[in-house]
């Protein structure tokens, strides 16, 4: 079976009538209950496996609110001892888009179990093993299949799910118990799942010995094909069947919950008449907190307040409508055209043909395409700061229009990896994007012992001359003594950060703080501390816990403070053997040596500051003559400012007209005083 998600992002979207880059994911947690799942597990610090699964469900919902808020989440239990006639299936959460009610329900269930109000085994009692009929895997899959089909076909008010996943949690390694008829039935419905692009992610919980052989026979069927390209795809996408330890459930859910975000797919031309199909994934996106919106309360529901702008006629106050037809010249209608601004006041209208022609340069094909135009040495020519857009990750597209893309892509990757080179690419990867230069860099050139990337290429857009801005050129390094340089090196060795920066270890504190407060409000979680108004060390500690970067800095600070000796010796300037390894004494000495240096601004900037241009000194006669001729505006602003300063004239502003008004008021006052004396 090929990867359902990749197939779904490709040709399947045409059948579904959806934009292939518009992602709407639906995930159903499908949990097969057993009595072992409710027992305390030493690997989970005494918690049960079922609680671990529900906690991972709650974490998934709260995390997806940040990254993919339109995701649908559902949760089904089967083999539940229930009186309803649903084949022992409990629909805990129906498949709906993320909402506050679902988050609150899961949180309340976990909280009731924690305080002992109602345990999980009381809420979801598994069927007994004394002959009571158990729910088969076929029954629950058939139920979920109907749910996905219903959401995609019958619900026209909202967009259907084009990425559909089932997280199957089970510790039962006998899905059909050697029942050949049930095995064929399961294979048939799973084949239907594959055709409908519904992928199953198994979580085989390894309690003791979990035999995956029966699941291998039904989940991952060997498809016979005479096409080399299809067999190649199957080998490339073949899943690995393995069990998961109870303490690794959350981490695995974290890895597979989000979709691979395809940004584009287009041909890559390696040489004339040699093209392969590729697709690019978004490596990262910058998440932002959505602003609050205005709503109107209509009964028990809230509706977002919608607003629009209209243009009204000055005389009749009638709304002016826009039409794009040039032959419509009625008085109440205005022709709507697309123009380009040229300068401040000039606008150039363009036709549809001119617009399409102005977007492209030297490209015959109207479809996106990238073309390799050369290769360069990675060590000698690549510059990290030449990156002006979010980079993409390129992999072969086995569902594209060109065959043997996987094999050709692999050969290109291996040859560039061995030669330590990268490719220079020209073209555009989207229909409406302009043609640009790109660096196509093998991912292996970035990999090291701490971090590794899958085999592929990073596509990084390169800047042109017009994109580069001038950096300041008046900055010069200040020379420092050898003693200060040596001391700084010793401090840096003490404070050396062993691990490099990995973004996955540093969640955005602002986003997490925002959604944690919203979650507390939804779930009605009480706190002993008023985080919004109270002050003090306890509040600061809670705020620090939400910022991993600040925690790292506080650890460094605590390390420095802990190294301070009990008997502080102030004014030490020479490091002896007893304090050679004391980081606090090293920093104290370093600060003392810095204080001896003259400030850089006093030493360089003020010393080399260019002298101001000589300003002409205006005389009283010149001022009076121009005052009588009403031509004070002929003087420069700095000349007027200098005159005002010398005469101690009061001025109400700093503009040239303010200076003129102040001088006029001064002369009028002086003239009045002279008349009174006469």
Please write down the HEC assignment for all residues of 330-386.
CCCEEECCCEEEECCCEEEECCHHHHHHHHCCCCCCCCCEEEEEEEEEHHHHCCCCC
Burial of 151 (0-12, 13-18, 19+ CB in 10 A): buried
d(CA 391, CA 287): 16
Stretches where the chain sits below pLDDT 70 are: 1-22, 83-86, 129-133, 151-159, 207-208, 220-241, 257-261, 322-336, 359-366, 448-450, 474-478, 496-500, 526-543, 564-581, 597-614, 671-678
Provide the 10 A C-beta neighbour count for residue 662.
Answer: 20
Residue 560 is predicted with a pLDDT of: 78
CA gap 118, 109 in Å, rounded: 8
Longest dimension (CA), the chain: 127
Tell me the chain's radius of gyration from C-alpha atoms: 36
Beta bridge partners, 266, equal: 278
254-294 pLDDT, tens digit per residue, is: 877 666 667 888 999 998 889 999 999 888 777 777 778 88
Burial class of residue 280 in the structure, from the number of CB atoms within 10 Å of its CB (0-12 exposed, 13-18 middle, 19+ buried): buried
CA 286 to chain centroid: 4
* CA nearest to 27, candidates 78, 59, 3, 61: 61
Paired tokens of 539? 């509040």
Q: Is residue 60 within 8 Å of residue 257, measured between CB atoms?
A: yes
Strand partners, 342: 346
Query: How close are the terminal C-alpha atoms of the chain, in Å?
Result: 110
488-505 residues labelled b (16+ CB within 10 A) or e (exposed): eeeeeebeeeeeeeeeee
pLDDT at residue 249, as a whole number? 86
Pair 205, 171: CB distance under 8 Å: yes
For residues 324 and 183, give the distance between their C-alpha atoms in angstroms, rounded to a whole number: 62
CA distance 474 to 99: 55
Per the document, the length of the chain is 678
Structure token pair of residue 278:
């590729």
- Confidence (pLDDT) at 16: 38
User: Considering only CA atoms, which of 32, 9, 4, 28 is closest in space to residue 20?
Assistant: 9
Give me the pLDDT at residue 420, please. 92
Per-residue pLDDT, 536: 54
State which H helix or E strand residue 589 sits in: helix 583-596
Q: What is the pLDDT of residues 477-526, one digit of tens each?
A: 667 778 888 888 888 877 766 666 777 777 787 777 777 777 777 777 76
Return the domain boundaries, the chain.
4-17+26-260, 309-358, 482-605, 620-677
Q: What per-residue confidence (pLDDT) applies to 386? A: 80
The torsion angle over the Cα atoms of residues 102, 104, 107 and 112, rounded to 10 degrees, is: -120
Residues 462 and 438 sit within 8 Å (Cβ to Cβ):
yes
**Which residues, 6+ apart, have CB-to-CB distance to 455 below 8 Å?**
410, 413, 443, 444
Classify residue 431 by its DSSP letter: T
The CA distance from 345 to 494, in Å, is 60
Please tell me the predicted confidence (pLDDT) of residue 538.
59
- Contact predicate 19/13, CB 8 Å: yes
Asked if 220 and 239 touch (Cβ cutoff 8 Å), the reply is: yes
Closest C-alpha among 207, 223, 216, 231 to residue 175? 216
CA distance linking residue 381 with residue 422, whole number of Å: 10
Task: Give the per-residue pLDDT at 365.
Answer: 60
Query: Span 4-17+26-260: which CATH code?
Result: 3.40.50.410
Residue 111 is encoded by which pair of tokens?
């909280």
Which residue intervals of 178-336 are DSSP H helices?
180-195, 213-219, 228-237, 249-256
Write down the pLDDT at residue 1. 37
Contact 244, 252 (CB under 8 A): yes
Residue 92's pLDDT is what?
92
């Amino acid at each position: 079976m090929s990867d359902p998600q990749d197939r779904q992002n490709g040709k399947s979207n045409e059948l579904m009538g959806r934009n292939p880059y518009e992602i709407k994911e639906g995930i159903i947690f499908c949990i097969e209950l057993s009595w072992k799942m409710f027992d305390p597990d030493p690997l989970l610090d005494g918690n049960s496996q079922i609680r671990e699964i529900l906690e991972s469900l709650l974490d998934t919902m709260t995390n997806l609110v940040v990254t993919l808020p339109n995701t649908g989440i559902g949760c089904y239990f089967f083999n539940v001892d229930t009186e309803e006639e649903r084949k022992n299936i409990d629909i805990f959460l129906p498949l709906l888009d993320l909402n506050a009610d679902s988050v609150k329900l899961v949180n309340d269930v976990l909280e009731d179990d924690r305080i002992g109000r109602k345990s999980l085994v009381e809420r979801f009692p598994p069927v007994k093993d004394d002959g009571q009929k158990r729910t088969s895997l076929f029954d629950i899959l058939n139920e979920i299949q109907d749910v996905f089909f219903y959401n995609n076909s019958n619900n026209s008010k909202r967009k259907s799910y084009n990425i559909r996943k089932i997280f199957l949690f089970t510790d039962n390694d006998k899905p059909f118990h050697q029942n050949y008829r049930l095995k064929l039935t399961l294979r048939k419905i799973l084949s239907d799942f594959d055709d409908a692009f519904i992928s199953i992610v198994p979580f085989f919980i390894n309690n003791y010995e979990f035999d995956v052989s029966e699941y291998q026979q039904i989940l991952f069927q060997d498809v016979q094909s005479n096409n080399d390209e299809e067999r190649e795809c199957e080998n490339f996408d073949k899943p690995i069947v393995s069990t998961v330890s109870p303490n690794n459930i959350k981490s695995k859910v974290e890895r597979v919950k989000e979709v691979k975000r395809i940004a584009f797919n287009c041909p890559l031309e390696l040489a004339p008449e040699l093209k392969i199909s590729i697709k690019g994934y978004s490596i990262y996106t910058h998440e932002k907190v959505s602003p609050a919106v205005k709503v109107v309360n209509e009964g028990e529901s809230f509706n977002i307040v919608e607003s629009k702008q209209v243009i009204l006629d000055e005389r009749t106050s009638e709304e002016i409508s826009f039409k794009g037809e040039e032959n419509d010249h009625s008085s109440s209608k205005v022709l709507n055209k697309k123009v380009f601004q040229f300068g401040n006041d000039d606008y150039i209208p363009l036709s549809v043909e001119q617009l399409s022609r102005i977007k492209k340069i030297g490209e015959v094909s109207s479809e996106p395409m990238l073309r390799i135009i050369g290769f360069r040495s990675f060590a000698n020519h690549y510059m990290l700061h030449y990156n002006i857009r979010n980079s993409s990750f390129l992999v072969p597209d086995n569902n594209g229009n060109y065959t043997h893309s996987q094999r050709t892509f692999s050969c290109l990757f291996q040859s560039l990896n061995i030669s330590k080179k990268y490719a220079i690419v020209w073209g555009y990867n989207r229909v409406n994007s302009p043609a640009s230069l790109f660096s196509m860099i093998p991912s292996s050139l970035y990999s090291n012992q701490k971090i590794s990337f899958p085999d592929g290429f990073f596509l990084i857009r390169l800047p042109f001359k017009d994109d580069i801005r001038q950096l300041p050129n008046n900055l010069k390094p200040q020379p420092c003594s050898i003693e200060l340089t040596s001391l700084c090196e010793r401090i840096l060795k003490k404070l050396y950060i062993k691990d490099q920066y990995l973004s996955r270890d540093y969640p955005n504190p602002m986003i997490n703080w925002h959604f944690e407060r919203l979650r507390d409000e939804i779930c009605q979680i009480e706190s002993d501390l008023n985080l919004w108004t109270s002050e003090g060390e306890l509040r600061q500690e809670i705020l620090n816990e939400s910022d991993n970067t600040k925690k790292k800095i506080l650890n460094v600070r605590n390390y420095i403070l802990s190294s301070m000796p009990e008997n502080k010796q102030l004014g030490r300037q020479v490091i002896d053997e007893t304090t050679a390894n004391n980081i606090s004494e090293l920093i104290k000495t370093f600060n003392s040596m810095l204080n001896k240096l003259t400030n850089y601004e006093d030493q360089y900037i003020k010393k080399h500051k260019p002298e101001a241009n000589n300003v002409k000194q205006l005389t009283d006669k010149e001022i009076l003559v121009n005052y009588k001729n009403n031509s004070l505006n002929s003087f420069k602003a700095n000349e007027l400012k200098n005159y005002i300063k010398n005469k101690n004239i009061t001025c109400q502003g700093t503009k040239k007209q303010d200076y003129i008004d102040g001088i006029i008021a001064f002369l009028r006052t002086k003239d009045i005083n002279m008349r009174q004396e006469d």
